[in-house]
Structure 1
Amino acid sequence: MTQQSESTTSTSTPTEDTDAPPAPAPLSAPRPPLAEPRPLAERRVWPRAFHDRLTAPLPGLGAVARFAREGAVRPGREGLADIPRVPFAPGPLPRVDARTIAVTWAGHASWVVRIGGLTVLTDPVWSRRILGTPARITPVGVAWTALPRIDAVVISHNHYDHLDAPTLRRLPRDTPVFVPAGLAGWFHRRRFTRVTELDWWEAAELHGTRFDFVPAHHWSKRTLTDTCRTLWGGWVLTAPDGGRVYFAGDTGYGHWFTRIGRRHPGIDLALLPIGAYDPRWWLRDVHCDPEEAVRAAQDLGARRMAPMHWGTFVLSAEPVLEPLTRVRAAWERAGLPREHLWDLPVGASRVLE
């Protein structure tokens, strides 16, 4: 990272090598230092694109042609028949204090995270429909009117099922928003005034809680001409007392999880995607399947895992309930404590004292 001035930085090279998975670090290896928090809402200059951050090539014409011949974007009739059985159990948001971590799953990748006395929304999508996708199959788990004041929003990347303009229009324009490199302009055009964009391994701080932006195995695109023009990643939220939540956003499985866990040890809860993985040959590089999500939680060293990114929008061909049954089986096979798998119904909450 080359700093050009206090308010203008950046090249497309992150502070760690992105070209290949590293050799396993010895157990005695020192933990990489955390970055000093950057100023909130600073203006940044970024490269024109982030193609060099891809961990796998995007599909070429051959793969697109194969998908046109073989691919399926929706489950069969039997898989769709499970829609009424998707767990849905909305309830009131739990009462919390500054020493409590609580999460409520609103559906898909949208969580209400209470940490360090803050209320943070992740990838908020309260819309019934998103562009190019059938309407959601479960209602939003938390009514917008039931939300407390939102202290911050984190965005993982710019795909429509994670960056939803109609939902974000409901927020006050002075809401602090934390976004990947290159995405601040999208918010500025919508008159948001407190937008902090970060590169991988960078951080900012709000009222004592750290927001660290970390890598993911994914990509970005919102229009026909902006492929990989903005970055993608996940977030590690760390409370002043050390409580820590990792929000993966959208990601395939790979070497980044081990690196994130080394840099951010003691993750109390990992919010990890388990759906939108079939056909596997098409989606493997960008979406974890349930077994890979369990491996990712272990690589991270996370004490608990909460699955997400399933049971809300039908984005791919696996049966609707299959992600849930497979993640439970994978968790059991791994010999992990059942109570540490927070497989919540849409709308449900869990509290970590």
Structure 2
Amino acid sequence: MTERTRTPPAAGAGVTPPAQLRPLGEVRAWPRSFADRLTTPLPGVRAFARLAREGAFRPGPEGLRGIPDLPYEPAPLPPAVPGTVSVTWAGHASWVLRIGGLTVLTDPVWSRRILGTPARMTPVGVRWEDLPRVDAVVISHNHYDHLDAPTLRRLPRDTALFVPAGLGRWCRRRGFTRVTELDWWESAELDGVRFAFVPAHHWSKRSLLDACRTLWGGWVLTDARGSGRQVYFAGDTGYGHWFGEIGRRHPGIDLALLPIGAYAPRWWLRDVHADPEEAVRACLDLGARRMAPMHWATFVLSAEPVMEPLRRVRAAWARAALPREHLWDLSIGASRAF
């Protein structure tokens, strides 16, 4: 049985409340809006008019010629080994993460097409039939390329879902019975793995009238009873001050899963989507030992050439004089373990 509690008033974007451990499945009351958490104001009418004039929604023909070169190398999932963390990139922001004996999916999107976007450039890197039993799912925010209802419908309704504040109702309406929604800097534990929800420079919207009605953020997963290994999943985010604070609150991150795509035109997307150079800066701010790029090579969401994010992140990593083996620039379907 869940307990209904009232959440304290939302903190402003500059406030970092102390970490709190919340019970699983807690039903809570939330503010009507989280707009006070925005790092910068959402675009107005003039910005939309400029975007329409420039028509910079998708890459030009030259930028799309790189589609055949997108990295796609599906392979069997690595075995689950006690004390070992493994990640498999299924595409976009979807990962199969095995930590502390659990199999966790991040922002699972197994659909071929999402609303308002051309079909996938690359297939999903892991067939749904090849997945082990999924113990938990983490959702970063409610945009369609991160919260995919057809994919969630494939899951048993008793799968543990960890979602941002305000999104629990959406999940429960679809029959899920083990939904834990968290505010920034809160965490919950499932079978020895800690799920901590942390801030992001982004926003939320799923329909015409629900902007910022639910929260957005990333997740730090920790093997709390075993190896102590930590994996940070950023979800979708621009670059900004939160990375340094996350690193201070969660020192010793072993791997950061960071977005590098959907950044052009820069004047339009800078505040909510990091570019490759900013992703490397974010990794340094976090104090993370390794970085795995994501949020590229799957959907055409913006105007940069499709292969450009990979070239730029490799160059930025080299300029920062970081060990090449710590940049896990995986192909879709590939895995790595530590």
- TM normalised by structure 2 equals 0.97
Return the offset for 1:9: 2.3
- For 1:88-119, what per-residue CA distance to the aligned partner results, in whole angstroms no more than 9, with x for missing partners? 10000001223110000000000000000100
Partner of 2:310: 324
Answer whether contact 1:12 1:50 (CA < 8 A) is retained.
Answer: no
Residues 1:250 and 2:248 aligned together:
no
3-state SS of paired residue (2:4): coil
Structure 2 Cα separation of the partners of residues 143 and 331 of structure 1: 31
Structure 2 Cα separation of the partners of residues 12 and 84 of structure 1: 50
Residues 1:141 and 2:125 aligned together:
yes
Partner of 2:36: 52
3-state SS of paired residue (1:236): strand
Structure 1 Cα separation of the partners of residues 82 and 249 of structure 2: 24
2:5 to 8, 11, 14: 8
Residue pairs, 1:34-73, within 5 angstroms: 34-35=19-20, 37-73=21-57
Partner of 2:102: 118
Partner of 1:286: 272
Q: Could you tell me which amino acid in structure 1 is paired with residue 5 of structure 2?
A: T
Return the offset for 1:12: 4.3
Return the offset for 1:51: 0.3
Identity of matched residues, %:
76
Return the offset for 1:10: 1.3
Q: Could you tell me which amino acid in structure 2 is paired with residue 314 of structure 1?
A: V
Answer whether contact 1:245 1:269 (CA < 8 A) is retained.
Answer: yes
Structure 2 Cα separation of the partners of residues 98 and 270 of structure 1: 21
Answer whether contact 1:33 1:263 (CA < 8 A) is retained.
Answer: no
Q: Could you tell me which amino acid in structure 2 is paired with residue 250 of structure 1?
A: D
Return the offset for 1:62: 1.0
Structure 1 Cα separation of the partners of residues 175 and 271 of structure 2: 35
Structure 1 Cα separation of the partners of residues 122 and 183 of structure 2: 34
Q: Could you tell me which amino acid in structure 2 is paired with residue 317 of structure 1?
A: A
3-state SS of paired residue (2:246): helix
Answer whether contact 1:11 1:47 (CA < 8 A) is retained.
Answer: no
Q: Could you tell me which amino acid in structure 1 is paired with residue 211 of structure 2?
A: T
Structure 1 Cα separation of the partners of residues 46 and 18 of structure 2: 43
Residues 1:298 and 2:284 aligned together:
yes
Q: Could you tell me which amino acid in structure 1 is paired with residue 101 of structure 2?
A: G
Residues 1:156 and 2:143 aligned together:
no
3-state SS of paired residue (1:8): strand
Structure 2 Cα separation of the partners of residues 164 and 301 of structure 1: 31
Query: Cα 1:195–1:143, aligned 2, differ >3 Å: closer, same or farther?
Result: same
Answer whether contact 2:203 2:272 (CA < 8 A) is retained.
Answer: yes
- What is the alpha-carbon root mean square deviation over aligned residues? 1.4
Structure 1 Cα separation of the partners of residues 68 and 182 of structure 2: 40
**Alignment gaps of 5+ in structure 1:** 23-31
Residues 1:18 and 2:18 aligned together:
no
Answer whether contact 1:74 1:318 (CA < 8 A) is retained.
Answer: yes
Partner of 1:28: none
Structure 1 Cα separation of the partners of residues 321 and 94 of structure 2: 28
Partner of 1:206: 190
Q: Could you tell me which amino acid in structure 2 is paired with residue 276 of structure 1?
A: A
Partner of 1:333: 319
- For 1:40-66, what per-residue CA distance to the aligned partner results, in whole angstroms no more than 9, with x for missing partners? 011000000100000000001111111
- For 1:190-217, what per-residue CA distance to the aligned partner results, in whole angstroms no more than 9, with x for missing partners? 0000000000000000001100000000
3-state SS of paired residue (2:98): strand
Q: Could you tell me which amino acid in structure 2 is paired with residue 325 of structure 1?
A: R
Return the offset for 1:33: 5.8
Structure 2 Cα separation of the partners of residues 347 and 199 of structure 1: 32
Structure 2 Cα separation of the partners of residues 259 and 284 of structure 1: 20
Residue pairs, 1:212-231, within 5 angstroms: 212-231=196-215
3-state SS of paired residue (2:29): coil
3-state SS of paired residue (2:257): strand
Structure 1 Cα separation of the partners of residues 37 and 19 of structure 2: 20
3-state SS of paired residue (2:156): coil
Return the offset for 1:18: 1.5
